Every structure is written in structure tokens, then in C-alpha cells.
Amino acid sequence: MTSILKRKFFQRDPKNVALELLGTKLVRKFGLQKFEGMIVETEAYYGDKDPASRAYNGLKSYNKSMWSSPGRLFIYNVHKYWMFNIVAHFPNEVGAVLIRAVEPLNEIEYMKRNRQTEDIFQLTNGPGKLTVAFKIDKSLNDMDITSEKSQIHLVKHKTDFKVTSSKRIGVKKDLKQNMRFFIDNNKFVSK
């Protein structure tokens, strides 16, 4: 029996959630397919005191999911690609974790078709690439992923690896502490 991550897991500091999501399995049900990949790279984002956060300038129509219940999806667009985030924060706070990369585990041929590439290392090694491979788009925004009935959920998977951190990628202003986390030496981490 799989152990789906429940809401309590996401009701914490986004940094801790981002760290502990590494090694979990992302499961995406789409028709008869069940795409799966191990999360290998994440970034944590906070509210109005985080200059790189989508919540930095306050509540807007496109970012309101960041204020919703932890364990829900926050999906937004950057340069024609959907960014896949999971809402994570303490009560009455704001935050989310961006899933930057996963290691594909099954339905790889479908992922290759979705991404139009034969190179397995180019399938899911970036936030836009993984959403194309896994068929994740805005229609899934605000979805609760803490239920087995959800089209997307996360399950415990692997814990034996070394974690490395860095500044977040592609942000103009960042927090002083590292908020990007990834599995060291994993070939599916974004470049």
C-alpha cells in the first residue's frame, strides 16, 4: 500500500517541505496512463517578504492559490511553460514549493512523445519540461493532491541520497539563504 502525503506534511515551513519532497514519487493519472517520477529538485517560496515569490506583490487573481490550503496545486505560466507548485505554509501564512525536476520512472515512451524528444535526460530536467512530459497545465490549478482520488498525488519513495542546495534559478532578487534543493549527482537535475 502506498503512503500518500497528507495535508499535515504541507502545513509547515516551505523550506522544510521542499527538502523533504526530494525522493518522493510524483504520480500523475491521465486517462489510462499513470506517469511517475521521483522528485530530484525543488525550490521554496514564501509570501510578501520573499522578492522572488509570486506572492511578493500581494494577493492577485493569478496567485490566489498560494493563500489556499497546503497540499493544493499552484500552477502559473512562465515563457509559455506551466510551473508546477505545491502550496506549503503554516496556518495564516503564504508559501509554495516549485517542483523543478523529476527522474522519470514509468510511461517514459509517452513522456518522450509529449516532449518530442528521445533523450531521456531531457524529458523532465526543468520545471517546464516536466509539466509537458506529465501533461500538467492550468486546468489542475488549486487541485487538492492529498487524496487518493486526485489526478496527482505524492507518495514516499526513496531516502538514501545526498542533498545539495543553492540560490534559486532565474530570479533577480533572492533571499540570503539557499532555497533550491536537489539530489546530488542526479542526472535529471536541471542545468
d(CA 191, CA 186): 11
* Long-range CB contact pairs, 53-58, < 8 A, 24+: 53/94, 53/95, 54/96, 55/94, 55/95
pLDDT for 1 = 47
For residue range 78-123, list pLDDT tens digits in order: 989 999 999 999 999 999 999 999 999 999 999 999 999 999 999 9
Q: What is the CATH number of the domain that holds 105?
A: 3.10.300.10
160 within some domain: yes
Maximum separation of any 2 CA atoms in the chain, in Å: 45
What is this structure's pTM?
A: 0.95
104 within some domain: yes
Give me the domain span that covers residue 105.
7-181
Neighbouring C-alpha atoms within 13 Å toward the C-beta of 80: 1
2 within some domain: no
Using only C-alpha atoms, the chain has a radius of gyration, in whole angstroms, of 15
189 within some domain: no
Look at the chain and report how many structural domains it folds into: 1
